[in-house]
């Protein structure tokens, strides 16, 4: 059986994220993705704190964002996340939709790999505990 782990969070676009074109500046979506990813990893039970305890950082090595429609001040939106890879690297897909209409705002993904805190070496397999936690959600 396939494992499909999804999650979602709700955010209200804050004033300080809106630029002079009266839309959320594109760079701020990286924060929204991270908030949603952290929430997803909390759900999996293997968050950044757990990674650090195990001796790993999990830097983002690849990121893509496609901006379909703008977000405006105080707009309420949903960030949907799906964990699509976890065995060798962590790949999360994101979709941002307007809360009221469900219309699509943004989609994208991030790829992270484990890095040993001591040696700063990139790992080619994810930490055992991460894999176990994900498998346990089957």
User: Which chain residues interact with its own copies by CB under 8 A?
Assistant: 14-16, 18-23, 25-27, 30-31, 34-35, 38, 47-49, 57, 59-68, 70, 73-74
Q: Report how far apart, in Å, the C-alpha atoms of 81 and of each of 31, 32, 70, 84, 137 are.
A: 14, 11, 19, 9, 16
* Whole-number Å distance between alpha carbons of 99 and 106: 13
Closest CB to its own copies among 4 and 63? 63
With beta carbons less than 8 A apart as the criterion, state whether 22 and 74 touch.
Answer: no
CB of 16 to its own copies, least distance (A): 5
Please enumerate in sequence order all residues whose Cβ is within 8 A of that of 86, keeping only pairs 6 or more positions apart, or say none: 126, 130, 131, 134
* Whole-number Å distance between alpha carbons of 83 and 55: 22
CB of 65 to its own copies, least distance (A): 5
Closest CB to its own copies among 52 and 135? 52
Closest CB to its own copies among 1 and 21? 21
CB of 11 to its own copies, least distance (A): 11
CB of 40 to its own copies, least distance (A): 13
Closest CB to its own copies among 121 and 135? 121
Please enumerate in sequence order all residues whose Cβ is within 8 A of that of 132, keeping only pairs 6 or more positions apart, or say none: none
């Amino acid at each position: 059986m396939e494992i499909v782990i999804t999650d979602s969070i709700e955010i209200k676009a804050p004033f300080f994220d809106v630029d002079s074109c009266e839309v959320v500046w594109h760079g701020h979506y990286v924060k929204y993705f991270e908030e949603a990813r952290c929430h997803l990893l909390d759900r999996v039970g293997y968050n950044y704190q757990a990674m650090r305890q195990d001796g790993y950082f999990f830097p983002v090595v690849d990121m893509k964002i496609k901006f379909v429609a703008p977000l405006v001040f105080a707009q309420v939106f949903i960030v949907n996340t799906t964990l699509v890879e976890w065995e060798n690297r962590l790949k999360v897909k994101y979709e941002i939709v307007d809360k009221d209409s469900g219309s699509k705002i943004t989609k994208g993904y991030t790829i992270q790999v484990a890095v040993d805190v001591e040696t700063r070496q990139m790992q080619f397999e994810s930490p055992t505990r991460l894999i176990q936690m994900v498998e346990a959600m089957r």
